[in-house]
Amino acid sequence: MKRKWWHSAIGYQVYPRSFQDTNHDGIGDIPGVTDHLDDLVRLGINVLWLCPVNRSPMMDSGYDISDYDKIDPSFGTMEDYERLIEEAGKRGIRVLMDMVVNHTSCEHPWFRKAMEDPEGEYGAYYVIRKGKKDDPPNGWRSFFGGSAWERIGDTNFYYLHIFTVGQPDLNWENPQVRQELYDMLNRWLDRGIGGFRMDSINHLKKNFEDDGEGENPFSYCTNVEGIGEFLREMKDKTYGPRNSFVIGEVNGIRPDQLEEYAGENGYFSTMFDFTCMRYRIGTSFWKEKGRKMRKACRDEMFRVQEKVWGKALLCNVMENHDTPRAAERFYQQEHVNFYSKSMLAAMDFFLGGIPFLYQGQEIGMTDYKKDRIDQFKDFATFRLYEESLEQGISKEEALARLNVESREHARTPVQWDDSPWGGFSDRIPWFDVNPNYREINLANQKTREDSLYTFFREMIQVRKKEELQDLWIYGETKPFLENLEEIIAYERRLGERQAWVVCNTSTEKTEILIEERIREILLGNYPDRRSQAENCQDKDGRISLKPMELLIFC
Ligand code: TEU
Ligand code: CA
């Protein structure tokens, strides 16, 4: 694999609305991110992915852009943004912009003009079709529930929105639309960003042969045959020649498409590996089956590692702004603690790939279970609630479902200290701070040796160790102890270099046998392990592991 600067990226995702408010309006902003750059340097990251900050009516939290060339005033100004890039650059951090080109906001001027004249020039910027009598053109569903078609006024035309009704899909078949978007991407690249995280990018092409009646209700808009032509052209005309780091948010390609998407000459530098995100004990399928779920996740995770090795580096992510927090997806409440959080993070972090952390993960922020539906804010969450009621579930049960499944859990404001509102703002924030901010916050973890934050810092240091860096990035991942259901263990190997990662995912202690003699313990989540490399194993090689213990050694 040809070396690229982003292979050694340690990424960190910021959801700016909930990161830090600096101008006392209860909404996180860009200067708030700039103010914390030194914290991020201290943590050890070098790439910052910032969720959308373009002008937006915020129907989907900025993923509905109404002006690609402006910063939303709630986040600050263009000067603020440029200053962030500059200050980050001074500290060796490159900023990735979250870019949404599958759709715009319904308040984008292109869409306004399209609504005035659906058959005119701007009508052709969107996916607009004639309805069938009083029905939409076909049975396509939106990802957030309901029809993907919305009627345009009292005409017989409908526009397509695969997400919320406020996010009309752009018509990528129109070369003029593509050129407008490429020019826009280039303007951002000229401002000195490190690259993009391309939102919903595998949905650009729609398949009109598919009427939406099939088994997969989203096949009409997901990796549709021919999308590659758009992706290739976009790359060639924008970031391709610029050595930029571009992450594709791509779900569910066929295994034989891996190199085409993320190989050396792929459309993207990398794509997220969502494997660990998809497994959740809270869903009805895995209820009461945590152990089985963790094993199933492990097996799939290793299959992905095997398929990818030598061909591409995927992005390892355990948390993001679209899912509940990791420990709560993998364990019952009583086991959501320092051990599960640290073990899960490291389990993912040392796999082959490019690791990304999500804000608050490093201090172990948790899901905030709400008492009332109106404490939620997000459209997709409300849709899930309505859908549950439509299925005949009671209001209490529907709320309980949101408390487990809502994607908003990870969006509560960052807990910096134990002052009111967790130091996020000095007034009531746009979204409630989790009341556990008095115990869980950065200030009380920053200098404590036994804190999760210190663990994360050490974890990043281990990944950046000069003599191990190539091993972590380019090494092969080989599972072992696979017959033990509750052990996730893998070897990383590159030529003569080797290191091992062992996780006891069980909430009970257990014992394993490792024939090799352990020379050095690189990281562990129980105190004293590191100083005890010699007596970690008995003379036969047995190691007793504590509940949810993690050990990394060579
Ligand atoms: O999410 C995209 C997304 O969720 C789909 O691409 C996904 O394949 C599908 O929902 C699977 O269930 C991104 C953002 O991360 C999210 O916050 C936005 O709401 C969404 O795009 C729309 O822009
Ligand atoms: Ca603010």
**What are the tokens at 56?**
């937006």
CA-based Rg of the chain, rounded to a whole angstrom?
Answer: 24
322 Cβ closer than 6 Å to some ligand 1 atom:
yes
Nearest CA residue ID for atom 5, ligand 1 = 200
pLDDT over 80 at 366, yes or no: yes
Residue 487, C-beta contacts closer than 8 angstroms, at least 6 positions apart: 481, 502, 503, 504, 505, 510, 512
- Is the Cβ atom of 379 under 6 angstroms away from ligand 1? no
Q: In sequence order, what are the residues at sequence separation of 6 or more whose Cβ sits closer than 8 angstroms to the Cβ of residue 291?
A: 485, 486, 505, 506
Instruction: Quote the distance between the C-alpha of residue 358 and its chain's center.
Output: 7
Strands 476-480 and 487-494: antiparallel
Provide the token pair at 286: 């895995």
Average pLDDT, integer, range 170-186: 98
The CA 424 to ligand 2 mean position distance, Å, reads 10
Q: Whose CA is nearest to atom 23 of ligand 1?
A: 63
Determine how β-strand 497-504 pairs with β-strand 550-553.
antiparallel
Tell me the average pLDDT across 531-541: 82
Q: Is the model's pLDDT at 123 over the cut of 90?
A: yes
Which ligand is closest to the CA of 25, given by its number? 2
Confidence of residue 529 (pLDDT cuts 50, 70, 90): confident
- Running DSSP on this structure, what letter comes out for residue 4? -
Give the range among 436-445, 497-506, 515-524 with minimum mean pLDDT. 515-524
Q: Does 158 score more than 90 pLDDT?
A: yes
Tokens linked to 165: 């009704």
What tens digit of pLDDT does each residue of 480-492 get? Answer: 999 999 999 999 9
Residue 163 Cβ < 6 Å to ligand 1: yes
At residue 264, φ and ψ (nearest 5 deg) are -55, -40
Q: Give the tens place of pLDDT for each residue, 242-284.
A: 999 999 999 989 889 999 999 999 999 999 999 999 999 988 8
User: Is the beta carbon of 274 within 6 A of some atom in ligand 1?
Assistant: no
Evaluate the CA torsion angle 249, 253, 255, 256 in order and state its sign.
negative
Question: Which tokens hold the place of 84?
Answer: 């962030």
Please give the mean pLDDT across all residues of the chain: 96
Element (H, E) at 456: helix 452-464
Residue type, 328: E
Q: What is the pLDDT of residues 208-217, one digit of tens each?
A: 999 998 899 9
The tokens describing 372, both together, are 């009332």
Residue 69: enclosing H or E segment and its boundaries? strand 67-71
The reported pLDDT for the residue numbered 262 is 97
Q: Of 72, 199, 319, 458, which is the active-site residue?
A: 199
**Is the minimum distance from the CB of 143 to ligand 1 under 6 angstroms?**
yes
d(CA 47, CA 197): 12
The DSSP bridge pattern shows strands 315-317 and 487-494 to be unpaired
CA distance 189 to 240: 11
Q: Out of 80, 249, 348, 362, which one is annotated catalytic?
A: 249
For 465: left if phi > 0, alpha if psi spans -120 to 50, otherwise beta; the answer is: beta
77 pLDDT band, cuts 50/70/90, is very high
How far lies 223's CA from each of 145, 171, 230, in Å? 20, 15, 11
Give me ligand 1 centre to Cα 322, in Å.
8
Q: Yes or no: say if 317 and 326 are a contact pair by the CB < 8 Å rule.
A: no
Q: How many helices (H) and strands (E) does the chain have?
A: 15, 20
Q: How far away, in angstroms, is 24 Cα from ligand 2 center? A: 6
pLDDT the model gives residue 162: 98
Q: What is the pLDDT of residue 534?
A: 73
pLDDT-derived band of residue 288, with 50, 70 and 90 as boundaries?
confident
Most ligand 1 atoms within 8 A of CB, residue of 51, 63, 100, 407 to mutate: 63
* Whether pLDDT at 533 is above 80: no
Which pair of structure tokens corresponds to residue 133? 């009598």
pLDDT above 80 (res 341): yes
Tokens of 202: 């595998």
Q: CA–CA distance from 301 to each of 35, 203, 295, 308 (Å)?
A: 36, 24, 10, 11
Look-up: residue for tokens 């899912």?
323
Mean pLDDT of 293-309: 97
183 is catalytic: no
In the numeric block, which tokens belong to residue 481?
A: 């102890």
> How many other C-beta atoms are found inside a 10 Å radius of the C-beta of residue 375?
14
Return the pLDDT at 418.
98
Atom of ligand 1 nearest to the CA of 100: 23
pLDDT band at 536 (very low <50, low <70, confident <90, very high): confident
Chain-centroid distance, C-alpha 95: 15
CA angle in degrees (0–180, nearest 5) for 499-505-510 = 85
Which ligand 1 atom is the nearest neighbour of the CA of 63? 23
Beta bridge partners of 11: 47, 356
pLDDT-derived band of residue 311, with 50, 70 and 90 as boundaries? very high
**pLDDT at residue 92 is higher than 90:** yes
Query: Are 368 and 409 in contact, with CB atoms under 8 Å apart?
Result: yes
By most ligand atoms within 8 Å of CB, the mutation choice from 163, 377, 408 for ligand 1 is 163
Q: What is the DSSP letter of 270?
A: E
CA angle 145, 151, 152 (to 5 degrees): 135
Q: Distance between alpha carbon 47 and the CA centroid of its chain, in Å?
A: 14
328 is known as an active-site residue: no
What local confidence, expressed as pLDDT, does residue 121 receive? 98
Nearest to 57 by CA among 67, 46, 45, 44: 67
Confidence class for position 191, pLDDT limits 50, 70, 90: very high
Q: How far apart are the first and last CA of the chain?
A: 24
Q: What is the mean pLDDT of residues 342-349?
A: 98
pTM summary value = 0.97
Q: Is the CB of 251 under 6 A from ligand 1?
A: yes
Residues, the chain: 554
The span from the CA of 203 to the CA of 205, in Å, is 6
Range scoring the smallest mean pLDDT among 71-75, 402-406, 516-520: 516-520
Average pLDDT over residues 306-333: 97
Q: Residue for token digits 């129980």?
A: 526
Among 322, 356, 405, residue to substitute to test ligand 1 (most atoms within 8 Å of Cβ): 322
| Angstrom distance (rounded) from CA 148 to CA 131 | 12
**Over residues 458-473, mean pLDDT:** 97
- Residue 6 has, within 13 A of its CA and on its CB side, a CA count of 28
> Does 174 contact ligand 1 (Cβ within 6 A)?
no
Angle between helices 227-237 and 175-190 in degrees, nearest 10: 40
